[in-house]
Amino acid sequence: MKPPTAPATLFGSRLSPFVEKVARALYLKRIPFTLVPPRSPGDFKKWNPQTGKMPVLEIDGRRVWDSTLILAALDERVPEPTLYAGDPAVAARQRFIEDWSDEALYWYVMALRWTRENAGATAEQVAAELPVPAFARPVVQLVLRRQIGGTPWTQGLGRLPLDVLLAQLGARFDELLVWLGAAPFLFGERPSGADLAVFGQVQTLRSGPTPQGAELVAMRPAMEAWMGRVEEATAG
């Protein structure tokens, strides 16, 4: 397959772990892209009529949504470096961890971001990315806390006390390090979709509003070293 004939367009905010996951895949494959952040709530439905969620990638006139589907499309469009191992057994493990990160680890991140202790800082961070005047931001933050902050509670992890949530998240990080073992990346010698997915989630935890999550990472030198390797391999 030939590389893209024009820069790709990535719709979404890199505060989203899924947008970060796709951005890192584009960097890894050396595909130039332009990031287009949302300017209004209507942008999500405009970019992605199917689900109204980000990220969405436009590449050579084709729009692809959902981070996992986007990574598959990138591998099809630009096969090297591949995002999954050639060995089917190894690739199965990588895809499993990618799915675990997207569907399970994500909710730990959401619960910690919108817990009572962090919800104010999280709402402030998200509102700062929107083109609203400063005087309107408190109202926007209140809306964000009501509309988004309640989803972890509905899912269940948001109901845990902060100390229990942190203990559970730390256990998940320890399990991740067991999967990593002595390898530089998850089940391989180079980053895969699994590494990019987990990296996106942890990067969101280290973005500011969740110092407890950043501390959990800092307490695990092997995890910090792995994050550094992924970041170096996917530098823009």
Class of domain 88-233: mainly alpha
DSSP label at 103?
Answer: I
Give the number of other Cβ atoms within 10 Å of residue 201's Cβ: 22
Task: Spell out the domain ranges in the chain.
Answer: 8-77, 88-233
- Of the CA atoms within 13 Å of residue 33, those in its CB half-sphere come to 28
Length, in residues, of the chain: 236
Q: Is the CATH code 3.40.50.300 the one for domain 8-77?
A: no
Q: What is the pLDDT along the chain (236 residues), one digit of tens a residue?
A: 555 557 899 999 999 999 999 999 999 999 999 999 988 777 888 888 888 889 999 998 899 999 999 999 999 999 999 999 999 999 999 999 999 999 999 999 999 999 999 999 999 898 887 777 777 777 767 777 777 888 999 999 999 999 999 999 999 999 999 999 999 999 999 999 999 999 999 999 999 999 999 999 999 999 999 999 999 999 97
Owner of token pair 């190894």:
90
Exposed (0-12), middle (13-18) or buried (19+): which is 156, by Cβ within 10 Å?
Answer: exposed
Which among 127, 128, 119, 204 has a CA at the least distance from the CA of 169?
A: 204
What is this structure's pTM? 0.93
Contacts of 110 (CB under 8 A, 6+ apart): 151, 152, 155, 157, 158
